[in-house]
Structure formats: C-alpha cells, structure tokens
Chain A
Amino acid sequence: MKPYISALRVRYLNGLQYRAAALGGLTTQLFWGLMRIFLYNAFYKSGGQPPTMNFPELVSYIWLQQAFLAIIMLYDWDYELFDMITSGNISYELCRPCNLYGFWYVKLLSKRLASATLRFSPIILISLLLPTPYRLTLPHNIMSLLLFLVTMLLGSLLLVAISMLIYISVFKTMSPVGSMAFFGILGEFFSGMLIPIPLMPEWLQRICYIMPFRWTSDLPFRIYSGNISVSQGLMSIGVQILWIFVLVSMGLAMMKRITKRIVIQGG
C-alpha cells in the first residue's frame, strides 16, 4: 500500500497549492448556490410545498452540493490523465511497479480531496451564517452527521470509480470530448445535481435509484438534512459498497485488457 499512500499524499499536497483556482471556485459556488435557492424559494412560495422535500432540506441539499462540488461532480476532469493517454506520456506510468488502475484511482481521489479541502469549509461557514430561509441548518442529530460523513466518503470513492471508467474509455476513443460530455451530463442529471431527486417525478426517481450516480451525493445530502432516515441510510451503505465493488472490478478488468493492446502515441 505504501506506494499508493505516498502518491495520494504527494498529489494531495500538490493540489493544495492552487489557491487562486480555489478562490475562484469559491465565489462561483456561493453565487450559484444563492441563485438556485432564490429560484426554488419562488417556486415553493407560489406553488405550494412538494411533500417529498421541505424547504430547509432543499437549502441544505443545495449548500452541501456547492460545498462538496469537488468530490461529487463527475465533470471535474483531470486533463493530465487524458493527456497522458493521448500524447503517450503514459509510457512512464507503465514503467512503475504499480497497478495502473490503483495508481490512477489514487491520483484522481487525491486531486478531488485537495480541491474539496480548500473549498468546503468557507462555503459551509458562510452558508451557516446566512439569514433564514437561506441558511444551512445543522444536521438533525449526531447520528445523521456521522452517517453523512461515512456516506460522503464512500460516495467520493464511488464517484472516482465511475470516472475511472471514462478515463479508460479514452484509450479506445483517443479523444475525451465525447465521453466527457456524455457522461458529464448523464452523471450530473442522475445524481440530482440539476434537479434534486426528491423533486423529480416518481418514475424518474426510480431510474435514478438503479443507477450508481445518486449514491455519490444525493444520498449523503438527504441523510444530513433528515430527508432520509438513519435506519434507511444505514442500509444504503451496503448499496454504496456494492456499487464500488462492481465498478472497481469492472475498471480493473478493462484496464488489464486495454493495457495488453496499448499503443503509445507520438513515438
């Protein structure tokens, strides 16, 4: 494990130095979060309350999305990996005594963790200080908070497992643009980033539940606000672990197959 932990550490520390990017992201996310809350506020005031999600739950959902964007959004691509495949720099990666899947998984995870570290606390802090009804409320109880932390962590592991499949697909397509756009929007929609899943029609919710995406963010956020009960949340951990297991196995197998037939680009 030592090589992977060391890679995680170095990448994480490397990621922490991009302060300007973090500041930029921070302002965008605060602004975006507020805008969306204003919008939903207007809906809730004029159209009555949807029974599936009350307004404080929605506000928490949106603020948590903004705060943890770096570990829940599929489209935060690591262009370095794409470059490695399409330019042939992957040569060096294959000269290391490491499993390439594991190595890249760690790389992606560390980058997301670093970027989340810089962003989440100021957003949480500011959103806690806002006036009601725009304020992020504290979690229901301590158990919800703990469960939120566990599912959030598992969610980010799951998200990286999903994104790995997209990186691996680039070995075949040689250009990430198609996969990026397709899976980016797919993941965004079905994880509830565009419309919170409780506000979707029921048939659409059912589709969301059978896909892996919502287990990365929708689940922990709703546990936090109490929209999903603790007992239900505990069961969901099993589903998350199952998805991680399935997608990591798939990724490992795909990577193994593809590195056997690899072609190094650019001489």
Chain B
Amino acid sequence: MITVKGLCKTFKVAKRSAGTKAAFKALFKREYDEIEALREVSFNIKAGEVVGYIGPNGAGKSTTIKIMTGILVPDSGSCEILGRIPWKDRIAHVKDIGVVFGQRSQLMWDIPVIDSFELLRDIYRVSDHQYRMNLDKLTDILDLTQILYTPVRQLSLGQRMRCEIAASLLHSPKILFLDEPTIGLDAVSKIAVRKFIKDINKENGVTVILTTHDMGDVEALTDRVLLIGKGQILFDGSFKKLKSRYNTYSILTVDHSGDGSISDMQNIEILSNINGRIVLQVDTSHRTVSSVIRQLSDSLEIRDISVESRPIEEIIAALYKEYRI
C-alpha cells in the first residue's frame, strides 16, 4: 500500500553568526548550511496497519509525513502510495488520505465547526448521503454534539483536536496521517483520541501512520514502530521488541525498619539509602529480582517493597543515546 524507497531530502538553512557585523554582511551575501533531513529512508506499510513513527525532534518524522502527503518533493528516492506518487499526482492522492497536524489547525477560527465541515464536504466532493453518515458517526464517537455549532476560537484544545480529527475523516480516507495528534491534551482527551483511532482502524480498516513523542500513544495504538534518527530508519519492528531490548533493569524500592546496613550484593546499584527507604537498581540481565529480595530480607526487616521496570521514556532516551541521535 505504501512503498517508500531511498528517500532523501536536504534543506538549505540560512545561517549567520551573531553580531552587527555579521548582520550587515548578510545583507549582501547569504550563507547557507545544508541539512540532510532524510537519508535513504525506506519502508513498506501494508493496508490496515497502525504504524508509530518515532524519533527525537528534528529526526525527519514530519519531513517524511510531508513527503507522503504530497506537500514536499524529495530530492531523490521513490514513494508510492495506493499506486500514486504523492507529489506528482497531488490532487488525486490527497482525496484518499486524511491528515492531522497536531500543531496546526484546519478549522476556520471565527466560524462554527459545522461550517468548516461543510466547506470540507464540498472541497472533497463528498456526497450528501456519505457526509451525513460520516458526520453522524464521528459526532457520536468523538462526542461532538455540544460543540459543532460553537466557533472554533471558543473551543478548548481537547475539543478542537477532536474536531480536527473528525475534519480529516469526513471524506472517508483510506490512510490517516497523524502528526502528533495528542500534543497538549489532558489525560481524558488523550484516551478518547486513542480509543477513537483504534476504532476506526478496526472497523473501517483505515491505515494509520502516527508520529508522536508520547510513548503512551505508541504503546496503546501501534503494532509496529519505525524509529528514525538523523534522517535514517534505525529500527523497524514491534514496540515490545524495542522495549525488551532496552528494558535491562528494574527499580526496587524497599521500606524497612532497621539501620539500613546491607551486605555487598552483585549486579545491583544502590541509588539511595535514607530514612528507612532503599532504592536499588537491579541488572535483570544478570540476576533475578527475586534473588535480590531474598538476599535483602536476610539483612533487613522489610515493611513494604515495590518493583518497577524501567520507565518507558527513559528507555527511549537510552535508545536515542545509543544511536547517538
């Protein structure tokens, strides 16, 4: 369905040193840096997949999305979506896709949401019958009844984002691109948006490609993760696999009533030991958590104990660090 092969894109970025002299010099001669946003990016996506596209800021996520949506033209490489080349056949291509850019808005600011929806209906030439059906369904699942007739400027961010997502699905697209759809949303709205994305994928078979910095989104939604850094695909596989590769230690928090002196233990690191609470990091690739607990209970009067695996954000940070991205 989506075939991306050897995609490269370089941007020219104007640069200038600080100071007055440099500013005057730049009036006559501009200097540019070449930034390689994408270097030989290749992947395939099958119909009905939900793919999380992750990577640090500036890794090339948005650039890839913009190429796949026909907005940007790559320097080299090929990209075929539903049998079309997005930037060559832009108008036919965009009829089949829906896009949400979490940081931008597609709704007209001063008029009620419904007016923007009707404009989109005409722009995409959606038949009245189909529009009715889609609108009813979207209103129902995204809970828009209360807000359809409110001007966009008076909506909260969560309400607006729900409308943005609805707006991008009015024309029943086959592929949905979501560029940071949960940015800035509270927990309730986030869960609602995630549930909705899951539903339309399951029920309508919409292929979803999602970029995000929120690992909760990735964990809740995606079967497959593409990790990009410095313009290259670094990992392509399930999120579980990615996690297990880096989930090499657990954190053990022990509350005890004693003086806190513990014997030397192998493969652990004591993170803190104060006021009857010890926090340990256990290297799970070398010993089990239970063996550590057993050893601890020999020397301490344990009152409470909790085990946590490594926080997911930290795993990702370690991952970025390892790949030097």
CA–CA, A96 and B124, complex, Å:
8
Which of the residues B90, B91, B125 comes within 8 Å of A2, measured between beta carbons? B125
Chain A CB within 8 A of B53 CB = no
Q: Mark A67-101, 1 if CB is under 8 A from B, else 0.
A: 00000000000000000000011011011111100
Flag if A3 contacts B123 (CB, 8 Å): yes
A264 proximity list for chain B (CB < 8 A): 62, 66, 71-72
Chain B CB within 8 A of A7 CB = yes
Given known pairs A14-B110, A88-B104, the reply for A7 and B119 (CB within 8 Å) is yes
Q: Give the distance to chain B from A115, nearest Cβ to Cβ, in Å.
A: 14
Chain B CB within 8 A of A262 CB = yes
Chain B CB within 8 A of A238 CB = no
Q: Give the distance to chain A from B97, nearest Cβ to Cβ, in Å.
A: 7
Flag if B124 contacts A95 (CB, 8 Å): no
Flag if A267 contacts B71 (CB, 8 Å): no
Chain A CB within 8 A of B113 CB = no
Flag if A7 contacts B110 (CB, 8 Å): no
Given known pairs A2-B125, A14-B111, the reply for A96 and B94 (CB within 8 Å) is yes
Chain B CB within 8 A of A45 CB = no
CA–CA, A172 and B140, complex, Å:
44
CA–CA, A5 and B94, complex, Å:
20
Given known pairs A10-B111, A96-B94, the reply for A263 and B11 (CB within 8 Å) is yes
CA–CA, A89 and B101, complex, Å:
9
Flag if A94 contacts B70 (CB, 8 Å): yes
Which of the residues A17, A263, A267 comes within 8 Å of B110, measured between beta carbons? A17
Flag if B94 contacts A95 (CB, 8 Å): yes
Which of the residues A13, A91, A94, A98 comes within 8 Å of B123, measured between beta carbons? A98
Flag if A3 contacts B72 (CB, 8 Å): no
Flag if B123 contacts A7 (CB, 8 Å): yes
Q: Please provide the 8 A-B residue pairs with the shortest distance between their CB atoms, ordered closest to farther.
A: A6-B122, A3-B123, A92-B106, A94-B71, A97-B91, A10-B119, A95-B99, A97-B95
Report 28 cross-chain contacts, Cβ distance below 8 Å, ordered by A residue.
A5-B122, A7-B123, A10-B108, A10-B119, A13-B115, A14-B108, A14-B110, A88-B104, A89-B105, A91-B66, A91-B99, A92-B99, A92-B104, A92-B105, A95-B70, A96-B124, A97-B91, A97-B94, A97-B95, A97-B123, A98-B91, A98-B123, A99-B91, A260-B87, A261-B73, A263-B72, A266-B103, A267-B57
Q: Give me the interface of B with A, judged by CB distance under 8 Å.
A: 11, 57-58, 62, 66, 69-73, 87, 90-92, 94-95, 97, 99, 101, 103-106, 108, 110-111, 115-116, 118-119, 122-125
- Known A5-B122, A91-B99; further 19 A-B contacts with Cβ < 8 A: A3-B123, A6-B122, A6-B123, A10-B108, A10-B116, A14-B110, A14-B111, A88-B104, A91-B101, A95-B70, A95-B71, A96-B94, A97-B92, A97-B94, A97-B95, A98-B91, A261-B73, A262-B71, A264-B71
